[in-house]
A and B are shown apart, each in its own frame.
Chain A
Amino acid sequence: MNKHIKNYAWIILFILFSIGSYFLGFKPGAVIYSNFNQFLIEMITIIPFLFILIGLFDVWFPKEILEKHMGKESGVKGIFLVILLAMLQAGPLYGAFPVAYILYKKGASVKNIFIYLGAFASMKIPMLGIEIGYLGIKFTILRTLISLPLFILIGYIMEKMVGKDFEVKEVKA
């Protein structure tokens, strides 16, 4: 229970601040609250759908199965699977580095590791959902379709340029 209170401390403070601003007629408080309200409404209409999709994706495509098929001989199937794995995930790009280490350990090719990073950076399903919400479906599809061949190409170039002595090291916190 204590942990929950700590987690939501800023939110409780913000609610108190907004109520206070309302009764005291504090203008900046009202503007900040109206900003917040706009963001909240925009997000509430997208987020629940988003997480339903992520959860379903997670049970239908377990990571273990995907990781088995990404080695040097995997060809187009490997590229496809590595992109699929990246799309399942969430978080900032540096969160993908530890996964890249695991892929490397499991024998994924250099090409597939960098394609994974490209897909992680620009095609994660949660982010695509938010992107559609904010920038529209045309922008999102167009950006994805242009990015996809580019980061696959980067995977091939990286394999050519660093492939020979490439290794991923484990970085401990």
Chain B
Amino acid sequence: MVLNNTLIFGLFTGIVLILSLVLDKNKTVLGLKKSWKMLFNILHPFLNILILLSIVLFFVPNSLIVNYLGANSGWFGFGIAAIIGSITLIPGFISYPLAATLLSQGATYAVVAVFMTTLMMVGIVTLPLEIKYFGKRAAILRNVFNFIAAIIIGILIGWFM
């Protein structure tokens, strides 16, 4: 599964890279230099997060997660996932492996989709900061509409997958 996705992604990257090289060699080299720099900058925070996740996963037994969000959790699990996702702020590097773990433990795609989407689009923890930028009304409205959108996305993905 993972290998398959890697193959597709690698192939796609290869085609884009060749296309870019043919069009403009200098630009491509400059782009690759930027790639390397960005990769290097993100490397240590990224490894730190993997370490943290490995430790957290040791202390939080899968049975606990599965109980609340697993195959038999139904609408209750869907609601819990939406609420946790809306309140918390988990970086993608942590949330995607977690989502994959949930799926492998029997959580439905709907639960995973609503969890991921609320994480990405709704932020209660960051709301005070958002209000400073956009004002109270706009910030709250944005979060409310995005929450509704996340519920729709969760239900539709559960339906299609």
Contacts and interface: CB of A to CB of B under 8 A. Distances in A.
Interface of A: 7-8, 10-11, 14, 28, 31-33, 35-36, 39-40, 42-43, 45-60, 90, 92-94, 97, 100-101, 114, 117-118, 121-122, 126-127, 129-139, 142-143, 146-147, 150-151, 154, 157-158, 161-162, 166-169, 171
A137 B5 contact: yes
B93 to A, nearest CB: 7
Nearest to A35: B54
Given A31-B58, A147-B149, A55 B34 contact: yes
B100 A154 contact: no
B58 A158 contact: no
B102 to A, nearest CB: 10
Nearest to A29: B58
Contact of B152 (A43, A93, A118, A150): A150
Main secondary structure of the interface of A (DSSP, over half): helix
A55 B37 CA distance: 9
Interface residues of B, number: 73
Contacts of B38: 51, 54-55, 90
A147 B4 CA distance: 25
Interface in B41-77: 42, 44, 46-48, 50-51, 53-55, 57-58
Given A56-B20, A134-B99, A135-B112, A51 B134 contact: no
A121 B145 CA distance: 14
Interface string B87-114: 0010111001101100100000100110
Contact of A147 (B51, B89, B117): B117
Could you tell me the dominant secondary structure of chain B's interface residues?
helix
Contacts of B134: 97, 100, 166, 168-169
Contacts of B46: 43, 47
Given A60-B31, A136-B1, A122 B132 contact: no
Contacts of B55: 32
Contact of A39 (B54, B99, B130): B54
B113 A56 contact: no
A48 B91 CA distance: 19
B153 to A, nearest CB: 5
Contacts of A147: 117, 149, 153
Contact of B10 (A14, A49, A57, A114): A49
Interface string B25-44: 00110111111101100101
Contact of A56 (B16, B44, B92): B16
B108 to A, nearest CB: 12
A54 B35 contact: yes
A162 B141 contact: yes
A22 B123 CA distance: 41
B36 A10 contact: no
Nearest to A127: B92
